[in-house]
């Protein structure tokens, strides 16, 4: 992507401008980083309900007979044994086991097997590399096709302890979205606008904040009215700034910062999203070999014991020895300290041990802690 | 309408100075600066009693989004620092020109005040 290329706009761009969202370039899109303030928005999600425009993320249908077999070959988790409506999180890997992208895949096939379809959500910045990778590997699967419908649709994350009640109140179907389990999904009709017209919305019980929540996918045409209806029902518009704070507190990795195609799921501490026992997938052999010899570096989470915020590319030390680098960091409002993630040599990844971070020339003490930093109250 | 009161003096590093009658000055960061920074969460200020030189670094203000150096707008001795703002950095966002002040300085060279900007001049700088 050329840095001079004009920024793409989601269908919700007019809503952000009307709400005085502060717009910034992100992965080629003009996106709101905040409306009133990062901390107020993060608090809304932790205590009530917030909404995020995540329409910049890639939405791909993988369709046709054999699409399950095809995805099984590309993904680190089993797709074929996903029950109708269920979703899973995992990775597309290079042959070397590096993470091309992390994705959520929803099973949308007909239960009687008459139709196969999967919905794959990828990161905005990786949409091109993911679609290219998928196309490159489609030979041998003549029945499979891919449709990128990112532009024609919107995606809105509705997150927070009050999300379920709010989402239920908007839906008119018999089955309420609050009956969904985590990583379940359904299609629902939502009443929108002055004429209360019914609009179909795909709803998954997924998110990137560490709270209960849902993600909506709907036609781009209906996006602005859907966003307005959510705001009217009491949701707080939240920008990318709050999203980053919330996902970091929840220990969720960000592709491009915490994971990329030079890091494997084993190094990133994400082996629970890799099923080595299922049929072979691209990158599986490399991971098995890596598992056997052990990883030399590991992603850790750390909490600062003094004031300050660790930021991307700050150096991590053990005494005088350089042991790694911060991949992402922020101020955690839930813990009222600086928190971060980064890779260190495996021998320094022990929970409870102390490391030092160079905060612009000031060495600051931090403790390696278990991820996530934040657990939502049960 | 400007957010920057006309009775204050400003620097292009986005600090304001309020001159007292007794050869002292109060220093803070501007409305524009706090708005650009977003939620301020940490503040590092010079020690009370220390001597600070115009244009040198005197501290840091850190928001969720970024960290910025604070520069000395007028030389002198630090008489007082805003401990309330250190404990409650949100004061800087809530009231940057009042409760969110940073330090009080005993001026060592009052002619430096002439080098500061008026609110109109400051508004022109941030508008360009």
**Is residue B128 included in any domain, yes or no?**
no
- Is the Cβ of A79 closer than 8 Å to some Cβ of chain B? no
Give residues 12 to 51 of B whose Cβ lies within 8 Å of A: 38-39, 41-42, 44
The shares of helix, strand and coil residues in chain A, as percent rounded to the nearest 5, are 25, 35, 40
How near does any CA of chain B get to the CA of A245, in Å? 9
DSSP labels, chain B: --SS-TTSEE-TTSEEEEE-TTSEEEEEE-HHHHHHH-SEEEEE-PPTT-EE-TTSEEEEEEESS-EEEEE-SS-EEEEEE-HHHHH-THHHHH-TTTTT--EEEEES-GGGGGGSBPHHHHHHHHH-
pLDDT in tens, chain B (128 residues): 689 999 999 999 999 999 998 889 999 999 999 999 999 999 999 999 999 999 999 999 999 999 999 999 999 999 999 999 999 999 999 999 999 999 999 999 999 999 999 999 999 999 98
Q: How far apart are CA A327 and CA A162, in angstroms?
A: 32
Domain count, chain B: 1
Provide the CATH number for the domain around residue A186.
3.30.1360.120
At residue A173, the pLDDT reads 85
pLDDT tens string A138-158: 999 999 999 999 999 999 999
**Is residue A163 included in any domain, yes or no?**
yes
- Which of A241, A308, A360 minimises the CB distance to B64? A241
Provide the CATH number for the domain around residue B55.
2.40.50.100
Range of the domain at A244: 13-50+152-248
Provide the CATH number for the domain around residue A129.
3.30.70.1400
Residues A301 and A356 in one domain: yes
pLDDT tens string A113-122: 789 999 999 9
Is it the case that residue A199 has pLDDT exceeding 90?
yes
Q: Stretch A266-285: mean pLDDT, rounded? A: 95
What residues of chain B lie within 8 A of the CB of A39, using their CB? 39, 41, 64
Residues A177 and A326 in one domain: no
């Amino acid at each position: 992507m050329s840095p001079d290329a004009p920024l793409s706009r989601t269908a919700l761009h007019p809503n952000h401008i009307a709400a005085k969202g502060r717009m910034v370039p992100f992965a080629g899109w003009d996106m709101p980083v905040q409306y009133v303030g990062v901390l107020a928005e993060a608090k809304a999600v932790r205590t009530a309900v917030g909404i995020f425009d995540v329409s910049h993320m890639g939405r791909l249908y993988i369709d046709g007979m054999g699409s399950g077999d095809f995805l099984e070959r590309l993904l680190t988790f089993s797709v074929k044994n996903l029950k109708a409506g269920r979703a899973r999180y995992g990775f597309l890997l290079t042959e070397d086991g590096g993470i091309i992208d992390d994705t959520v895949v929803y099973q949308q096939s007909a239960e009687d097997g008459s139709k196969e379809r999967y919905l794959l959500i990828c990161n905005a910045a990786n949409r091109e590399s993911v679609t290219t990778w998928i196309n490159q590997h489609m030979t041998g699967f003549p029945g499979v096709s891919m449709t990128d419908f990112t532009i024609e649709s919107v995606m809105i994350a509705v997150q927070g302890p009050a999300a379920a009640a709010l989402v239920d109140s908007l839906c008119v179907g018999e089955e309420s979205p609050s009956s969904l389990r985590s990583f379940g999904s359904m299609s629902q009709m939502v009443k929108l606008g002055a004429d209360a017209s019914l609009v179909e919305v795909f709803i998954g019980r997924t998110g990137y904040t560490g709270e209960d929540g849902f993600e909506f996918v709907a036609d781009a045409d209906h996006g602005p009215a859907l966003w307005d209806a959510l705001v009217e029902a009491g949701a707080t518009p939240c920008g990318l700034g709050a999203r980053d704070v919330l996902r970091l507190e929840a220990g969720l990795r960000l592709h491009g910062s915490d994971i990329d195609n030079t890091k494997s799921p084993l190094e990133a501490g994400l082996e629970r999203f890799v099923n080595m026992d299922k049929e072979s997938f691209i990158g599986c052999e490399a991971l098995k070999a890596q598992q056997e010899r052990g990883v030399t570096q590991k992603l850790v989470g750390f909490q600062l014991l003094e004031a300050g915020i660790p930021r991307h590319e700050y150096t991590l030390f053990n005494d005088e020895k350089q042991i790694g680098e911060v991949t992402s960091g922020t101020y955690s409002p839930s813990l009222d300290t600086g928190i971060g993630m980064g890779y260190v040599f495996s021998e320094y990844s022990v929970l409870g041990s102390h490391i030092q971070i160079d905060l612009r020339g000031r060495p600051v003490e931090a403790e390696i802690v278990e991820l996530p930093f934040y657990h939502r109250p049960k | 309408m400007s957010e920057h009161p006309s009775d204050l003096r400003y620097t292009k590093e986005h600090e304001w100075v309020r001159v007292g009658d007794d050869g002292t000055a109060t220093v803070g960061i501007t409305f524009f600066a706090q708005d650009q920074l977003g939620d301020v969460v940490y503040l590092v200020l010079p020690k009370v009693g220390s001597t600070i030189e115009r244009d040198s670094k005197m501290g840091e203000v850190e928001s969720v989004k970024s960290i910025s150096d604070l520069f000395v707008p007028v030389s002198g001795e630090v008489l007082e620092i805003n401990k309330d703002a250190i404990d409650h950095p949100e004061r800087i966002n809530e009231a940057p020109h009042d409760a969110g002040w940073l330090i009080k300085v005993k001026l060592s060279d009052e002619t430096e005040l002439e080098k500061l900007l008026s609110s109109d001049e400051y508004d022109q700088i941030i508008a360009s």
